[in-house]
Amino acid sequence: MKKLLFCCALAALSWGCGPAGEGKETIRVAVAANVQFAMEELKAAFEAEHGIPMEIAISSSGKLTAQIQQGAPYDILVSADMKYPEALVNSGKAVGPPRVYAYGALVLWTLTELEPEAGPGFLLQEQVGKIAIANPRNAPYGEQALRYFDYYGIGGQVAPKLVYGESIAQTNQYILTRAADVGLTAKSVVLSPEMKGKGRWIELPAETYEPIAQGAVITGYGRENHPEGSRLFLDFLFSPGAREIFRRYGYVLPEG
């Protein structure tokens, strides 16, 4: 019995131990931070349907892509845009073409007493001292936040107020801890059960930034090491059940 428990403990450290993973290898999914909360529901639904356990790594799309380029053993990239999955395909590190699983939306969120407004005047007022956005070099939502500023021609004026999170997850922490007075983040975050009802938020007009088409792709590692599990999960992202989860988190769904 002791030997059995010891073996199970060792397996749990690397792949997980329990009924969902019995006889099947874990797939590792690299997930953009804006999908973090929705992915917990997707993971549970996928494991229940297919009996294949998953491990999730959360970070910015750019950082996850760099890790995959350097050989990180992720089977699938669930990105916040199409640029990074396409870069992996072009470099031979993923199997294309990438598929758009959802379109994201930007919101302005605050835990202060301020009432957020979509127009440029809100961010320029003195009461707004710090504005949190994700690092645009790595995070597509940060890149689109800059486009929102540029749409109204206030990029130069808000620049001294900006604080950058390494991903949407860190940006959210700046907002939640009030290290920033307001922040631009993903609608999926403020609609999550963990964040719903906290603070005030307003969705930003879609015309003020480019559509955030979010793509997923199987990596070369996934194709070589876990082809069946990787394919099943990619297909699952487009299933009716997964689409309903994405819809609840405020994503716009592609047709089909």
| 13 is a domain residue | no
Do 99 and 113 belong together in one domain? no
Crossing angle for the helix pair 36-50 and 240-248, to the nearest 10 degrees: 160
What is the CB neighbour count within 10 angstroms for residue 178?
13
Do 140 and 186 belong together in one domain? yes
Do 150 and 218 belong together in one domain? no
Do 111 and 157 belong together in one domain? yes
| 3 is a domain residue | no
Give the chain's length: 256
Kindly tell me if the per-residue pLDDT of 256 is higher than 70: no
Distance, CA of 203 to CA of 195 (rounded, Å): 15
The answer to whether residues 141 and 152 touch, using CB atoms and an 8 Å cutoff, is no
Do 120 and 108 belong together in one domain? yes
| 180 is a domain residue | yes
**What is the sign, positive or negative, of the torsion defined by CA atoms of 177, 205, 240, 80?**
negative
Give which of 237, 253, 246 is closest to 98, Cα–Cα.
237
pTM recorded for the entire structure: 0.88
pLDDT of residue 4: 33
| Per-residue pLDDT tens digits for 100-124 | 999 999 999 999 999 999 999 999 9
Domain count for the chain, please give it.
Answer: 2
| 16 is a domain residue | no
pLDDT of residue 81: 96
Domain with 174 in it: 104-208
Kindly tell me if the per-residue pLDDT of 11 is higher than 90: no
Distance, CA of 159 to CA of 128 (rounded, Å): 12
CATH number at residue 143: 3.40.190.10
Mean per-residue pLDDT over the chain, rounded: 91
**What is the sign, positive or negative, of the torsion defined by CA atoms of 73, 78, 81, 83?**
positive
Which tokens is 209 given? Answer: 């930034």
**What share of the chain in percent tops pLDDT 90?**
89
| Per-residue pLDDT tens digits for 193-221 | 999 999 999 999 999 999 999 999 999 99
| 231 is a domain residue | yes
Do 135 and 116 belong together in one domain? yes
Do 111 and 185 belong together in one domain? yes
